[in-house]
Amino acid sequence: MADILDVITTRKSIRRYKPDPVPEEMINKILEAARWALPVRTINLGDLLSSVILKQKNKIGRLARIGSGSRMTAWYCLGDMQERFTKIEDPVRRAEVLRFMYSGEVSEFAKNAPLIIAVIGTLMEGSIDVPYDLSAAIENMLLEAHSIGLGACWVHGPVATTRDAKKFKEILDIPTGMGEYKVIAYVAFGWPAEERKHPRPKKSLDELVYWRNSEGRKGLIMNKMQYCNDLMVRMEELFYHELSDCAPFKVELVGVDFIQSREIKGDSTEGIIQSCIREIKEAGLVKEIEYNISGMRIKLELRMKDCVHLPKEARLRRSGVKPYICPIANMILDQLIEKLGYETTYIARMDIDEETGECKVCSAIYENEEQIGKVCNWHEG
């Protein structure tokens, strides 16, 4: 039997494709590879979606560009993205690579792929292993495509956030209920139009593998607010453990039920924010809160003091996980989307000071699609 490691170590993500179609027999082999990763109870939607999605590639490409671009624009403005590309010595080339990233074009490529397969699982039966079963199916498809000479790329950007996953379902005319179907990702396939260079170097096994036992647990001190915060800490730890840096993309709705139950009024960005702040302070969730809009009206900075969730964030940070859920910011961002029709939003950074009881939350707010990819230095104002 051939060593599968040879296929694994020579595969890389391919994002540029020739226009030639993928033969049906190859599509069937790819879907067959996926089938062997799935339990009997899983409903396989591959045959249906592979035909539907081809008619919607431009919409999928746009969703991918907005999803990735909205986050990467914020990362660039904060200076985080530039650190990833310091090894590119040519400043012109480095600038072009950065623009390609923060514009969202890095994820838009799928609209030019001859074949896209959406990977979606049912949550209505045997749903406990859906993310893991379907992720295994994706890996099988990638390896099979590589073994038969095709290029492929696993794309998560368009479905990273809860709202974007809902838009993705709407494009494909799939039920959008939270308990019906879960979008994992989609995979683009085609004949490679770029040179299949050897994959990037990987960390050594010594850097990745640890052999050890861990013991110990912490007790919990209960009161009403601390109990709530303890639950959130545990949830954030578990989310981060499962999803790592993708965890923040899944929690944008945490806290919004409170603000949606209030009558938030305003016909401008400032009006909506001020209306939200009044309700938040009156409810005793935050003692003081100020805001500032800058960075070409994309950067929204919230400065809060004595927030009821500050102990949660401090405890989470002490456990080694950087805080990433801010229910207060989620409330305001939700109302910008719901009341003013903002294209998308993204919490880019949270900084807390346990001693002073203050926290600062920096978010990117995109009133329209054209703002994505517009960059400046957010540290200058």
Lowest mean pLDDT of 31-35, 157-161, 216-220, 366-370, name the range: 216-220
Domain boundaries for CATH 3.40.109.10 within the chain: 4-190
The alpha carbon of residue 210 and the mean position of all alpha carbons in its chain are separated, in whole angstroms, by 28
Query: Where exactly does CATH 3.30.1380 map onto the chain?
Result: 224-380
C-alpha–C-alpha distance, residues 66 and 105, integer Å: 9
The pTM (predicted TM-score) of the whole model is: 0.73
Strand order in the sheet with 344-353: 288-294, 299-305, 358-366, 344-353
Ranked by mean pLDDT, the top range of 14-18, 84-88, 108-112, 179-183 is 14-18
Mean pLDDT of 321-339: 95
Query: What band does 56 get if pLDDT is binned at 50, 70 and 90?
Result: confident
The length of the chain in residues reads: 381
pLDDT in tens, 277-289: 999 999 999 999 9
Helix, strand, or coil (residue 360): strand
Q: Are 189 and 116 in contact (CB under 8 A)?
A: yes
Pairing mode, if any, of strands 358-366 and 299-305? antiparallel
Least confident of 121-125, 235-239, 296-300: 121-125
**Which pLDDT band holds residue 338 (cuts at 50, 70, 90)?**
very high
Among 129-138, 213-222, 240-249, 338-347, the range scoring the smallest mean pLDDT is 213-222
* pLDDT at res. 219: 41
- Considering only CA atoms, which of 249, 262, 259, 222 is closest in space to residue 325? 249
Count of beta carbons in the 10 Å neighbourhood of residue 369:
15
pLDDT of residue 196: 67
Sequence-ordered list of residues with C-beta below 8 angstroms from that of 257, at least 6 positions apart, any chain? none
- pLDDT tens digits along 34-51: 988 876 444 444 433 443
17 Cβ contact list (under 8 Å, min separation 6): 112, 113, 114, 151, 188, 189, 190, 191, 192, 193
CATH code linked to domain 224-380: 3.30.1380
Q: Is the pLDDT of residue 127 over 70?
A: no
* Percent of residues, the chain, with pLDDT higher than 90: 49
CB 289, CB 304: distance < 8 Å: yes
Q: What is the pLDDT of residue 87?
A: 85
DSSP state of 324: -
Report the distance separating Cα 232 and Cα 323, nearest Å: 11
Q: Which of 347, 329, 308, 332 has the alpha carbon at shortest distance from 230?
A: 308
**Residue 291, H or E segment:** strand 288-294
What average pLDDT does the structure give for the chain? Answer: 86
Q: List all residues 6 or more positions away from 124 whose beta carbon is below 8 Å from its beta carbon.
A: 179, 180
Q: Does 4-190 carry CATH code 3.40.109.10?
A: yes
Contact partners, residue 313, CB within 8 Å, separation at least 6: 323, 326, 350, 352, 359
pLDDT, greater one: 254 or 380: 254
Band the pLDDT of 307: cuts 50, 70, 90: very high
pLDDT higher than threshold 70 for residue 165: yes
Helix intervals (H) in 186-309 = 205-208, 224-243, 256-260, 269-282
Split at pLDDT 50, 70, 90, the class of 138 is very high
